[in-house]
Structure 1
Amino acid sequence: MSGGPPPDEARVQTSDGWLQGVVAADHRSFQAIPYAAPPVGPLRWRSPQPAKPWQGVRDATRPGQRCTQSNFQGGVTGGEDCLFLNVTTPLGARKGLPVLVFVHGGGLVTGAGDAWNPRRMVQHDAIVVTLNYRLGAFGFLKHPSLDDPYAGNFGLADQQFALRWVRDNIAAFGGDARNVTLWGQSAGGVSVCSQLASPGARGLFSKAIAQSAPCGNAVLDPATAVERGLAFASFAGCSTEACLRGLPASQLVRHSDRAETFQVHRYATGKTWMPVAGTRALPLQPLTALQLGLAADVPLLHGGTKHEVRAHVTFSGQPVDYPKVIKGMFGKEASRILSAYPAGSNPGLTLATALTDYGAMVGACTQLPALKAASRGAPAYGYEFAEPAVRQFEGWPPSATHGADMDFLLDLMPTSFTPGQKAFADRLIGHWVAFAKNGDPGWPVYQGGIVQSLAAAQTGPIDLAREHRCGFWQTIR
């Protein structure tokens, strides 16, 4: 590192240069820190490259550009120069703090690290890093003309590059580079499961949290990924790499991909863009790697919300023909499922309950084989978030839907807590930070289908397998 101005609370020197951040009343933040070179021009669909050092003091007081994505109005927002991360720390001169690196959700097609404010979490004596990674076709395109070893997994490569930046620089912020927890929710959880099985991530984190993304669910295989890549190239009007590289970023965003993130599928691989296993970057499916003892042997905190799929059914915005959906998903097994889960007065609620139990998109029962496999190599802790969401869906009973947990951990938008909710949020953050500090969230390790139920009124062990009828779902093929 070169010389520069004297450090103070708002200035930090990294390996690439000095940063000027913001000192707030209860935390420090440094935003839009480039962790890799902009993946533009010839670096589109290439593994990330080192960022260019800068002279003087870089302004780190405002968010950086988000990665190219569709917005809710059918337009395109963000840009390709988006490989930024954000560091939030508690106040005061600290050293050796645990570090949580958060990978955002959004179906691998939307979202940004700066959308999540970790100010409440860092007050528990931890550092939180949030990051952007390439989304949609920019991050997960696998096309026959792409020869980069991370083709199909550029988003994973970005996350690994960010973890290397953390390893090399987090001590300057007061963090312990040897105590890094990789943490993701939804699509970020899919990323964490994949990083557990990726050789390129080995040694870059010492603990993992996979939230609302069962590591028992498969990601894409190469043949399916290539088929989808060819279909995407056809959509873009291209048949060659040169043609694809010549298109403006706005023409490489398919708006239907964003809508797809809110649809109900039988399997997680029903989503258009996913990591690709059977590749140099990800040789094995995450569950297979865990079962064979070839995944990272690190403590794992793994779970989801009690009513995951209710959010997806609600967001679809369509009346639910429950028998038709089940028959379309399960074929000859549909009659058994319809008998076990009769529609009742709310077919949408019944569909969401059945698919949450099944868990092959998101949900419960596919968590169990991953927890069992992970526990052979390191401590594994299961949980179910059962506290109703702060923002409820009109016409539905109070539910712990997909994403309900995030309001209690990180601030996506201003949230008004009751005193009971605030106390629960503080307790929940305490569990997450305790796990980041020492690999133990404060309840027993996973064994035999028993996980920790987390809610404001009652927290304690539950039999997840029995609650979600996993014995029944094991008979469904």
Structure 2
Amino acid sequence: MTRTPSLLPAALLTAALLTAASAQDTTAPAPALPPTTPAAPPVAPGFPVRAQVASGTLVGREASGVRVWQGIPYAAAPVGERRWRAPQPAPLWVGERDASQPGSACVQPRVGGGVRGSEDCLVLNVYAPATAVRAPVMVWIHGGSFRSGAGSDYDGRVLARERGVVVVTVNYRLGPLGFLAAPGLLEGRTDGNYGLLDQQAALGWVRANAAAFGGDPQNVTVFGESAGGMSICAQLASPLSAGLFDRAILQSGPCTPEINTAALPDALNTGAAYARDLGCPDGSAACLRAVPAERLLDTPVPGRRAPGAVALPPVSGDAVLPRSPQDVFRSGQINRVPVMIGSNLDEGTLFAAPIARSGRDLPVWQFWGLVALLERWNAPRVLANYASRDYETVGLAAAAVVTDGLFACPVNDIARDLARVTPVYAYEFRDRDAPTELKPTASVPRYGAFHASEIVSVFGTPLASFADPAKFTPAQADLARTMRAYWTNFARTGSPNGAGLPAWRPLDPARNNVLTFQPGRVAESTDFRQEHRCDVWSR
């Protein structure tokens, strides 16, 4: 049964800890947000290749056995009267459309200040083996706290070439343009969740056009990490997603904690206050649609909320997500497809790392005070299980609270709920020497298997300023190839198993068998809940 920690302590603790860092000259990442935005990978030089999709002819590039088409519109630009509406069909074009460069990212804050992207951003990118014929299709939903990132930040060429799958990476609306619910924006039974609607539109486009790239439209797997995993988590609970995908992979993406969704009445109250702050006291759609995108980003979303928390998460209670994912999973009334789901051993280090004042660790008294504030009556139990003296630094104690309370235990709860009604394969990534470009701090002298550290293994390509598989040891490179084999086998057949791979058995909720990944060792564990002290977070 899925359970929610009281007051979502790990998430709020993360945000509160980041608040402590805000007075310093330190840029602190928000929960589920990598510290930098990777640069879009360039398309390798090659010769033109064409694909005929419903809207017209696309001209991409082929090189080294992979065909790449980028910046493909899957829906009309959500601008003007289409801002804060469900996505509309992509326009037709006459002649050939150049698809050799990524399209614009959706509007978001730029790392270091300013704005990245534009509102005309509903595009996707396709990476296909040159010889693909009815190949499995894998659609990637990027992370970034529902407020940053782009599909083109991720390079699908290694997966396509090495594993023979068609990879699609998708943009979706972010921040207030993607998830604002306001009384004046009500359209039918939909209000908010425009980003989730975009993802559904992209999946529908893939069903309709996958064959043009050598993909099998009847074999579509959606996969994503962090906010991307949370999105897929929500799509499993959305009746509007039924039939849009055949399998799902959720990487570090629990959507059941309350901090990761907002009930519609609460979202509408927030939206009404936000509209007033934007200069639209009547909250009318016409007034809101006239507000420049830059001002939307510059205007803080009102409400009592820990800094660093997602201000505008997906909304439960509208037509897209009529019930909270937690309720849907408990009832078993999900979109029943095979699921692969997991998290990383040290998720919280990414968020605790910036908490350093002049090279010093987080003070013990501050850690105690934060736990007392956030956990109230449960604080003694949390402090007894996460005593700072048991860790090398106080920051690592805070990181353990984040790991277990926000990621490990909620993800495992979801896995066990889903396993009652559909095949589930559960994993944990445990490479504590995962390469990273991140710098250690006084709070976190080492990152371990940190949040998002598995992505470069899954894709086999770098994330700029974050991690690079070129720095893998031979054992890490072998592990990465093993993971790509599991991921793509699952996409191909619904089972990750294959020749030469250690057996990965479906999750039995009674045994709680989780496959663990670390260099030189891929093995089943049944101690996950004990190792992450999930009894502390259960209600």
TM-score by shorter chain over 0.5: yes
The residue number in structure 2 matching 1:326 is 371
The residue number in structure 2 matching 1:4 is none
Aligned counterparts of 1:431 and 1:315: Cα–Cα separation in 2: 34
Match of 2:399 among 344, 352, 377: 352
Q: How does 1:255-404 map to 2 (within 5 A)?
A: 270-315=309-354, 320=362, 321-344=366-389, 345-359=392-406, 363-388=407-432, 389-391=434-436, 392-395=438-441, 396-404=445-453
Q: How far 1:74 moved relative to its partner?
A: 2.0
CA distances 1:184-226 after superposition (whole Å, capped 9, x unpaired): 1100011001100111110000101111112443421112212
Aligned counterparts of 2:105 and 2:76: Cα–Cα separation in 1: 15
Give the stretch that moved more between structures: 418-427 or 402-411.
418-427
The residue number in structure 1 matching 2:85 is 46
CA distances 1:284-313 after superposition (whole Å, capped 9, x unpaired): 111321221211010011111111111111
Does 1:114 find its partner at 2:156?
no
The residue number in structure 2 matching 1:469 is 533
Match of 1:432 among 487, 494, 508: 487
Aligned counterparts of 1:342 and 1:317: Cα–Cα separation in 2: 19
CA distances 1:55-83 after superposition (whole Å, capped 9, x unpaired): 11100000101100111222112110000
The residue number in structure 1 matching 2:458 is 409
CA distances 1:391-410 after superposition (whole Å, capped 9, x unpaired): 05414235111110111122
Give the letter for the 1:71 counterpart. R
Q: How far 1:387 moved relative to its partner?
A: 1.3
Match of 2:225 among 155, 171, 185: 185
Alpha carbons of structure 1 residues 62 and 255: separation in structure 2 relative to 1, 3 Å:
farther
Runs of 5+ unmatched residues, structure 1: 1-7, 265-269
Alpha carbons of structure 1 residues 315 and 171: separation in structure 2 relative to 1, 3 Å:
farther
Does 1:104 find its partner at 2:142?
yes
CA distances 1:324-378 after superposition (whole Å, capped 9, x unpaired): 221121112112211221112411100111221122xxx1111222112211221
Alpha carbons of structure 1 residues 263 and 309: separation in structure 2 relative to 1, 3 Å:
farther
Q: How far 1:255 moved relative to its partner?
A: 7.5
For the 8 Å contact 1:390–1:407, the answer to whether it is kept is no
CA distances 1:421-444 after superposition (whole Å, capped 9, x unpaired): 222211111110011011112301
SS in 1 for 2:408: coil
Give the letter for the 2:278 counterpart. A
Aligned counterparts of 1:197 and 1:336: Cα–Cα separation in 2: 33
SS in 2 for 1:80: coil
SS in 2 for 1:288: helix
Aligned counterparts of 1:398 and 1:273: Cα–Cα separation in 2: 28
Alpha carbons of structure 1 residues 454 and 231: separation in structure 2 relative to 1, 3 Å:
farther
Match of 1:457 among 504, 517, 520: 520
CA distances 1:221-279 after superposition (whole Å, capped 9, x unpaired): 1122123223332342322222211111111114868xxx9967xxxxx4212111121
Aligned counterparts of 2:150 and 2:506: Cα–Cα separation in 1: 32
For the 8 Å contact 2:342–2:412, the answer to whether it is kept is no
Q: How far 1:119 moved relative to its partner?
A: 1.2
For the 8 Å contact 2:72–2:124, the answer to whether it is kept is yes
Give the letter for the 1:356 counterpart. T
Does 1:221 find its partner at 2:285?
no
Q: Highest relative contact order (Cα 8 Å, sep 6+), 1 or 2?
A: 2
Aligned counterparts of 1:215 and 1:336: Cα–Cα separation in 2: 25
Aligned counterparts of 1:256 and 1:384: Cα–Cα separation in 2: 36
Q: How does 1:227-238 map to 2 (within 5 A)?
A: 227-238=269-280
Aligned counterparts of 1:62 and 1:419: Cα–Cα separation in 2: 33
Give the letter for the 1:440 counterpart. S
For the 8 Å contact 1:262–1:315, the answer to whether it is kept is no
TM-score by length of 2: 0.81
Match of 2:124 among 85, 88, 91: 85
CA distances 1:435-465 after superposition (whole Å, capped 9, x unpaired): 1011112301112322111111211112211
Aligned counterparts of 1:313 and 1:368: Cα–Cα separation in 2: 22
Match of 1:95 among 133, 138, 144: 133
Aligned counterparts of 2:186 and 2:323: Cα–Cα separation in 1: 19
SS in 2 for 1:21: strand
